[in-house]
Structure 1
Amino acid sequence: MDIRLHHCPQTRSMRTLWLLNEIGVPFEIVLHRFGKALRAPDFLEKSPAGRVPALEIDGDVMFETGAITEYLCERYPKAGLGRLPGKAERRDWLVWVHFAETISQHAATLTQQHVMLYEDAMRSPIVMKLEAARIGKCYEAIEQALGGHDWLLEGGFSAADISVGQAVYMARHFTKIEPYEELAAWYGRCAEREAFQESLPGEGKRLYDRDFYPAWPAEPGA
């Protein structure tokens, strides 16, 4: 098995990196700088939208994290991270694996607003506040789903927790998780996992230069 992951730290490809670390198969990481490097012709052949992750596996290339997650979990069922067709938790597993992208899209919009736009005149306070509130709605859904369980599915830790956990890792830069007791405890369990720790950015490779970005401009007295 020849696996090569094209990765930018603190992006959606962290989701695939964490999953591969949990599965425990050998793989190679190809690091890219976020930005123009992803629009180079040779990379666009692997990921036509110029985004990570791109996963080379057995000579073929995949993109889109949800598809990659489903494929890897079916390819390595002994890892126990998937819920295969016909299994009782399959439907809910699919919902949460793909709900991660809803969270990620809100976080991506805020990343653009706070990180990628360098001049205040280019930023939109309305967009910042709306998107941060939408992340809060996503947190509420996770909070309700956990309902006292350690993981999103009663059957135990799975790639659903990886997908949503990575999305929350990104989103917490813009909307705090602490007001959500169940969510915060669950995220803490995710963050304690060795495979999660191994997927974090190395020294000097962070996309975000701070842990939290409040909506701009700050409210009076904030």
Structure 2
Amino acid sequence: MITLHHVPQSRSMRSLWLLHELEIDFQVIVHPFDRSLRDPAFLSLSPAGRVPALEIEGERMFETGAITQYLCERFSPDRFGRRVDDPDRMAWLVWLHFAETISQHAAALTQQHVALREDHMRSPIVMKLEASRISKCYDALEARLSTPIENRDYLLTSGFSAADISVGQAVYMARHFATLDAHPETAAWYERITARPAFQASLPRDGEKLFEQSFFAPWPLEG
């Protein structure tokens, strides 16, 4: 049995999305976004107290990139992964891990807007810089998706893969802080991939949302 430890609207959402795409048996344990992730029992699964953590046949994994690569290589090396000798293998690895570049900026903004509950704790400078860095990541996606290659609907020439899942989930998080208005190809790609049933199945249910609103302005509102 595969068990995914998950916090809604966190990085573990990309593991949940991939598991739905793979259509394999798994179960989900949902955790709150609080200090319970620092409990010794959870730290035995993920030593940094972060999600996702994955239990599979008595073994334990953490880190989304490692989990994605393992699941693809084991269950779908050609459809969602790319084999070592595949021409798209290099691009698959690059974009798979580019998701973390986006996510680190979204995580910094999540801390500013969600974890730091009092306005005086927040830094308008950090909020502005991190939102700008997300836009730079969008620039990279826009350039990739604008490449004049026939049927450039996804990040890889060979079609949809776990790279789209990982980056797509990172963009899902980032869109809470920076819009895609200036990136039309990226916006069209995002709409394509998030229409997939497996993405819809990975969305938080009522009462599970980490973010209380759909968009946070980069600068705090003044009273």
> Which runs of at least 4 in structure 1 moved beyond 2 Å after TM superposition?
none
- In the TM superposition, what is the alpha-carbon distance from 1:79 to its structure 2 partner? 6.4
SS at 1:61 equivalent: strand
**Alignment-derived partner of residue 94 in structure 1:** 93
Q: Residue 212 of structure 1 is aligned with which of 202, 207, 215?
A: 215
Query: Could you tell me which amino acid in structure 2 is paired with residue 142 of structure 1?
Result: L
Q: Residue 193 of structure 2 is aligned with which of 190, 194, 215?
A: 190
**Alignment-derived partner of residue 166 in structure 1:** 169
CA distance in 2, matches of 1:104, 1:111: 10
CA distance in 2, matches of 1:200, 1:108: 18
SS at 2:61 equivalent: strand
Query: Could you tell me which amino acid in structure 2 is paired with residue 170 of structure 1?
Result: M
Percent pairwise identity: 62
Name the TM-score, length of structure 1 as normaliser.
Answer: 0.96
**Alignment-derived partner of residue 68 in structure 1:** 67
SS at 2:47 equivalent: coil
Report the aligned-residue RMSD.
1.1
The answer (yes or no) to whether the contact 1:23–1:79 under 8 Å persists in 2 is: no
The answer (yes or no) to whether the contact 2:77–2:83 under 8 Å persists in 1 is: no
SS at 1:56 equivalent: strand
Is 1:124 equivalent to 2:123 in the alignment? yes
State the number of aligned residues. Answer: 218
**Alignment-derived partner of residue 52 in structure 1:** 51
Query: Could you tell me which amino acid in structure 1 is paired with residue 93 of structure 2?
Result: L
CA offsets, 1:193-214, max 9 Å, x none?
A: 0000000000010000000000
CA offsets, 1:128-157, max 9 Å, x none?
A: 000000000000000110126110001000
CA distance in 2, matches of 1:195, 1:209: 23
Q: Residue 153 of structure 1 is aligned with which of 152, 156, 164?
A: 156
CA distance in 1, matches of 2:59, 2:125: 42
